[in-house]
Amino acid sequence: MAETLTDTPRSTRPSGPKGRFLSGSLSDFRDDPIRFLSSNQEAYGDIAFFRFLGLPVYQVSHPDDVRTVLVDPEGAFTKGEILEGFRPLVGKGILLSEGDVHKRKRRMMQPAFHPKRVKEYAAEMVREAEALVASWEHGQEVDMAAEMNRVTLAIASRTLFGAELTEREMSDVAAAMRAFAGWYHQSTHPLGRLLQHFPTEATVTFREAKKRLSAVIHRMMRERRKSGDTGDILSMLVFAKDADGDGAAFTDEEIHDEAVTLLVAGHETTGATLAWAFARLSDEPEVAEKLAAEADRVLGDRSASFEDVPKLVYAEGVFAETLRFYPSALALPRQAQKDVVLAGHEVPKGSIVLTAAYCVHRDPRFWDEPEAFRPERWEGGVRKARTKMTYFPFGGGSRVCIGEAFAWMEGTLLLATIARAFVGKRHANHPLASETLFTNRPKGGVPMTLASRSRRPR
Ligand code: HEM
């Protein structure tokens, strides 16, 4: 636990894995982050110390310390060096911006994520989910991870950018995500910084794929400039003036980088979470049945709408429980900009701190039967666990996910719409494992066979 001011922090370093000569624990983290984070918590408790290539790293696994780091009332932390690996993808976008620049971007983008605006996206989400379901047949084999990725990408591009992506553009975006994952993996290699300067396969593939992703974004920007303000987020980026600040507009580079950030953040995470959800539902047939029964009861024969969301309590619980088990970010990193005290230890300026969501979300001190997948535990709503920081799949403080309300609505509506039409059975010969390239995804996808339920959405 974080100490109070009257406690004297220990100047000794917390214990932790020894790691290897020069690279420290980087390879162990890179090879299997889940095992690395869990075994640190098990062996060393709420705080563990190790190094990544000489950089001091502290893993914290207690909600009080997570709050100190993420809510950060003293402004002691920045996103830091570890997240710089995302820079080639998201550039100067909001995700990695700091201080006043971040505040300005957040202020300018916030209106697009206001609950009133998010409400308008519900119909689009349901339309895309129903189109997907209508394209499926009883007995069909699908990769649920790819299906969820496609549907969430279609939703993000329609709702945020008012654009329909062509098949080619869809695959260009998906290829850019895969190429970035490969590049990111290379960047976390002990020789990663050096490798970036060589035309390795990962570097060249990512460079080419990024060009095609940028072409998709530029096409959308050109169209919005021609069409004028249509009220979507892209319009806001293209035509916005910072009314509360200096009245400046976003530059072209900023619009591009924000659009890439939103397109990526707006579909990768929700797509992966829904893929995990359907994989888990296949293993939990009673949960799948309850989910479908709730959708039948609430929706009858009609399509889901925004007004149904508060009634789809169980569906929201399935989404919440999925994010507890499989948070998109296993650990959120920060870098201390001054000396701080965490779990009773002095943490010097410059240190990296990893807030281990994966560990906190499964800690029996905070969760009753943490290994049980129980959507019912969320019936009172997710708020309590959020304030206590025993649950932080969307982060916390001023950097909390801007798309959180969007994600809850999308997750709830898609689960209800899909689960009442089809039940997916996971292929037994494909074990469920995690692949944590840059978000936590099911390794090798989720091959499934679909069985139609009798009732289909219109
Ligand atoms: C299940 C779905 C999602 C999860 C688990 C998730 C998770 C997160 C997390 C953990 C952060 C904070 C990162 C940090 O503190 O370092 C974040 C930030 C962000 N997310 Fe999400 N996200 C999801 C969906 C979305 C959606 C749908 C959008 C957009 C439509 C979005 C846009 C963003 C943006 C722009 C930021 C940066 C905010 C800032 O720095 O001020 N996310 N997300």
Task: For 226-270, write each residue's pLDDT tens digit.
Answer: 999 988 889 988 987 766 666 677 888 999 999 999 999 999 999
Q: Which residues contact 454 (CB under 8 A, 6 or more apart)?
A: none
Indicate the DSSP class of residue 432: -
CATH numbers and ranges of domains, the chain: 26-452 (1.10.630.10)
Residue 11 or 62, more confident: 62
Beta bridge partners of 50: 57
Q: Are 398 and 106 in contact (CB under 8 A)?
A: yes
Residue ranges of E strands in 113-222 = 141-143
Q: What is the pLDDT of residue 456?
A: 45
> Which atom of ligand 1 is least distant from the CA of 328?
5
* Cβ atoms of 214 and 260 closer than 8 Å: yes
Cβ 339 vs Cβ 348: under 8 Å = yes
Residue bearing the CA closest to ligand 1, atom 3: 269
Distance CA 123, CA 65 (A): 40
pLDDT tens, 180-216? Answer: 988 888 888 878 778 878 889 999 999 999 999 999 9
Q: Ligand 1 centroid vs 259 CA: distance in angstroms?
A: 14
Distances (CA, A) of 165 to 16, 108, 153: 48, 25, 9
**Averaged pLDDT, 289-308:** 97
Q: How far is the CA of 267 from the centre of ligand 1 (A)?
A: 10
At which residue do the structure tokens 């609430």 appear? 298
Give the residue, 454 or 189, on which the prediction is more confident.
189
Asked whether residue 313 carries a pLDDT value surpassing 80, the answer given is yes
pLDDT tens string 99-156? 999 998 898 888 888 888 888 899 999 999 999 999 999 999 999 999 999 999 999 9
- How high is the pLDDT of residue 114? 86
Q: What count of other Cβ atoms lies within 10 Å of the Cβ of residue 188?
A: 18
User: Are the beta carbons of 48 and 15 closer than 8 angstroms?
Assistant: yes
Q: Enumerate residues lining ligand 1, CB below 6 A.
A: 79, 94-95, 106, 160, 261-262, 265-266, 269-270, 273, 323, 328-329, 332, 393-395, 399, 401-403, 406-407
What pLDDT is stored for residue 3 in this prediction?
41
The neighbouring-strand residues paired with 51 are 56
Q: How confident is the model at residue 330 (pLDDT cuts 50, 70, 90)?
A: very high
- d(Cα 392, Cα 404) in Å, to the nearest integer? 11
Residue 215, helix vs strand vs coil: helix
Task: Please give the Cα distance from 119 to 116 (Å, whole number).
Answer: 5
